[in-house]
Structure formats: C-alpha cells, structure tokens
Chains A and B, each alone.
Chain A
Amino acid sequence: MSDTNFTLDYQRKEIPTKARNAGLIFTGLGLIIVVVSYIINPERTAYNSIIGSSFLLSIGLLSLFLIALEYIAGAIWSVVFRRITEFLSALIFIVPVFALPFLLNIHSVFNWTHAETVAKDAILIHKSPYLNTTFFFIRFAAVFIIWWLFYFVLTGNSKKQDSTFNQTLTKRNASFGAVFMPIFAITITIASIDWLMSLEPKWFSTIFGVYFFSGSLLAAIAATTFAAVRLDENNLFGIKIKGDHYYSLGALLFAFTNFWGYIAFSQFMLIWYANLPEETFWFISRWEGNWKFITLGLIVFRFIVPYILILSQPSKKDPKRLKLAAIWILFTHYYDIYWLVMPNYSRSGIAFSWYELGYPLLCLGVMILTFTFKAKNTNLLPVGDPKLKQSIDFHL
C-alpha cells in the first residue's frame, strides 16, 4: 500500500527557547507555592497534590492510550500528531513526584488508613483486604511499572523507526498496543479508585473508572490539539497541517465532550433515581453550601460551553477556535478533579486560595518543559512511519 521509497524532506526545527523559558517560569512559581504551602499546611497540599497528580496522569497516561489506539486502529490521519502524544506520555514519569505530598500524608487524606476508624466500621472492615496501606503502595508501584514498560516499548519502537525505517516495528507496536488495552482498562480503574474514589471510602460507583477515563481522554486530546496548533502556528512541524486534520481532532474533542456528559449524567442519574443513602451522600456533600455552585459550574463549563464552542463544522476546522477550546477543556478537567477531591477536604464550603494555585502552575510548567525536553532530540514527525505520507495527504 504505502510508498516505501517515500522519504520526507524533513528538517528538524528547534523549539524556540521562549517556550522553555515560559515552562521554567511556571514550574518555578508552582514549585515555590507548593513548597511553601506544604510547610504551612501539609494536609491541604496533600489534597492539592491528588488533584495535580491525577491531572498530570490524565494527560500522560491517556496520551499513551492514544498512541496504542492509533496503532491498533491503523489510524492514518493521526500519524502526524503521534510525536506530540509520545512526548506528552513521558509525563507519567513525573506523576509519582507530584504525588509525594499525599503519599507522605496518606493518613490525613485517606480515612481508611486509620486502624481505629476501620475497626469500628463494618463496611470498612469488609473493604480492608483491598483498602489497606501496604496493598495501596503495592498497587501504586505496580501500575506505574506497567505503564512505564509500555511507554518504553511503544515510544522506543516508534523512535527506532526514524532511523531504521523498519516497517515491522509498526506491526509489533500494534500487537503491544492490543496487549496494553485491557491492562490499561484495569490499571486506570485501579488508579481512579485508589486516588479519587477511596477519598470517600464508603462510597462506591461502578462507573467511576469510566468517568475518570472519559474526562482524562478529553484532556489528553485537548493537550495534543493545543500542542499541534502551537507547532503549526510557528511552522515547526515541517509540513502544513490541513483543515481535515484539525477537523478530526475537533470531532474527537466534540465526541468525547458528549461522552463525558453521558457518563457523568449516567452516574448521577442512577444514584439519584435509586436514592440509596449509602450512594447519595457523595452528591449531597457536593450540593451543600456553596459547593452547589461548583457542581452547577461543572455542567456549564465542562459540557455546555465546549459543546457550543465546537458544535459547528467550520469551528472544528478553525485552529484558533480549537486552541481556545483545548485550553478551556484542560481548565475544566482540572476543575472536574477539583470537584471530585476538594469537598472531602472542606465540607463546609469552597476551599480556594493561593494554596490551590501551586499545582496548576506546576502542571502547566512541567508539561511545557517535558515537551520541549523531549522535542530537543526527537523528530517532531515520525519520519520512518510507513503511513506518514498518507497521513500528510489526509483527506476526509
């Protein structure tokens, strides 16, 4: 099928130091705030670190998912964007560092770590074979080792192809991707249950893993879209990205905005309809006091605004509009995780001050730095990929 004699006249371009400097500034500012807030109030910083590390994990892990998905599906249009997802997936190495504050303060964050509380509670005793500190750390380590292994295999093969032009690497990656998928489904469910759902150890929602997945995939696509638009604007790709490429990204953003709305509403409606006290209290605690406004804001910001923003066909092809939508979706994903986590810290009302600014800045800075660092010695296009020419000429 593909033209094996095709070699792209590709000249790698350096990402301007301006981007790296911006990343350094954000990281520095964020780091200062996080360190100071950790000294003043370790508990609050621990909660914030759950938000920050979940957000970073979303983008890193789901970028890895997108790579695997592209290989399995044999997708053509996305080949030109694959390096972006590969760079972003390197973020999964930084997540454990982000998670340090809550790992060190596991007692002030997770109620189920208190032996005396568990001993008094029949439900928590029943859950203790899963929810205990030792097994928590084993799971934490296991999922990261699994993700890292797949990261090395998938991106390593892709990078090797740049110099060897070996087409069997694509096939091999498709097989590895297929193995990764079920493992990914299990590990992301474990991670979302451990980090986010077990904050309220008595609450359960069987759809929670899917909820986290839907929002995270949206965030990963948004980050990819943003990077693609920025690179194209500054002519760093070496090729011109077409409206049809952008349309595909926009369509995915739109589709997964709907998917997120569908999952979030399903989770809410089933609990609302069954009206069981052991499930409803989770939503009630997010509906009391001024948390109500955050909950209503989630519907408006995360579903209605992006829905209207990228509903029409021309807006999906417009890079400027897509860039705006991508930034907005990244913001709302952080907002979403804040909504999941923070009501456990402050039940009486919204907790928002300078403490909460550290991790968003740090996330932003680390994302930019990781991207520029990875882009320094890797091509921005997978020049050895057999589908690259088709991908560049992609037509809807």
Chain B
Amino acid sequence: MLDRVWKSTLGKKFLMAVTGTGLVLFVFVHMMGNLQMFLGPEVINRYAAMLQTSIEFLWPARFGLAIFALVHIGTGITLTWQNRQTRDQRYATRKLVKATLASRTMLWTGSFVALYVVYHLLHFTIGTIDLHLAEMKTPDGHRDVYRMLIWAFQDSRVACGYILAMGVLCFHLSHGIGALFQSLGIKKPGYEPLIYRLARLAALGLLVGFVSVPVAVQLGWLQ
C-alpha cells in the first residue's frame, strides 16, 4: 500500500493534503499564540513558557512538523517535476481558463515559505540572526516573547519581511486549503464554490491574524 501511495499521483496528492492539513492546523495554532500579544506580556509569556517547558510535548511536535514539512515539500517537488513532463510542446496562445495564479505558483510560493521558515527559526527560535533576542528573559528565566516581538517588529525591515512572508503563505493557503478537500475526497457536488470561498476566507483570516501583530507594533499600539 505504501508503495502505491508514493507511486500513484493520487497517493502523492493524498500525502500533500494530509501533511498540508497538519501544517495548516499548526499555522492556525501559531496565529492563535501570536494574537495573545494583545492580551499583554504576562499572558503570552506564560503561554510561551508552557510550550518551552513541556519538553514531552514540544519535541514530538517539532519532530512531527519537520516530517510533515519534508513530506509536503518532497511530494510537492516530485509532483511538480512530474507535471512538467506532461507537455513538451507548449501552446502558442493560452487562455488560462480558471487556473488561478495561486494554483499555478504553488511550488514558488511554497519554496519561498520554506526559506522564510528557515530564516524565521534562525531569527526567533535559535536566535542566531539577532543576538539581542536571546538575551531577553523574564524574571523567572524564561524567554520574554513579548519583548522579543516588540523589539523585532519595531525594525521596519523585519516587519515588512514578515508581512510579505505571511502574504505569500496565505496566498499559498488560499489555494491549498480549498484543494485539500478535493484531494482527500471530502466534497459533495454543488458545494465546491462554498468550499473555495471558505478556504479563501480562512486564508484571509490567517493573514489578518498574523499581520496584526507587526502592524500594531509599527503603529505603536503594542509597546
């Protein structure tokens, strides 16, 4: 069966969709975490400390996410490569009926997001890009996430880069969330327009959620 999952296009799409679902859920949880910025330093720092200290939870989650990301990227690249082999002679005129920009650029938006994730990890999680961040601790010795974010997003280059990356991510998701229902076969005839509209709405919601923090910092609402 595993053989068939990997060898068939449908199986690979299935892997894409399952890992994509996992990653989307993570993105959602991440956003919920970020939004706690608006509840004040104690709340978000307590949340961060809870995550940091639950090693039994943290590492399996990190491990799982890494595997999901790798499988998602692996199937994405393989499928795109396969799809490129299907039409040697291209059309001279091409009206791209229906195929949205998001659907046609999944590999590029996906690659950008992957690279940004690496940068993002180096920046916040590992802390090798901005050495100041690693020094910010709360009195009880945990990371002061609240201050870290304010500090980082006060730098307009960081904020802009972040906003751009979230834009690309949500653009990627605007197609991905809708498509995963198709690949997983969760659909009833007549419901597609609704599914796609909700998917785009969800992507937009994620975008607003993520972008609200740097924007609030830049506007001085969060200090």
- Verify that A and B bind, or say they do not: no
A residues at B contact (CB < 8 Å): none
B residues at A contact (CB < 8 Å): none
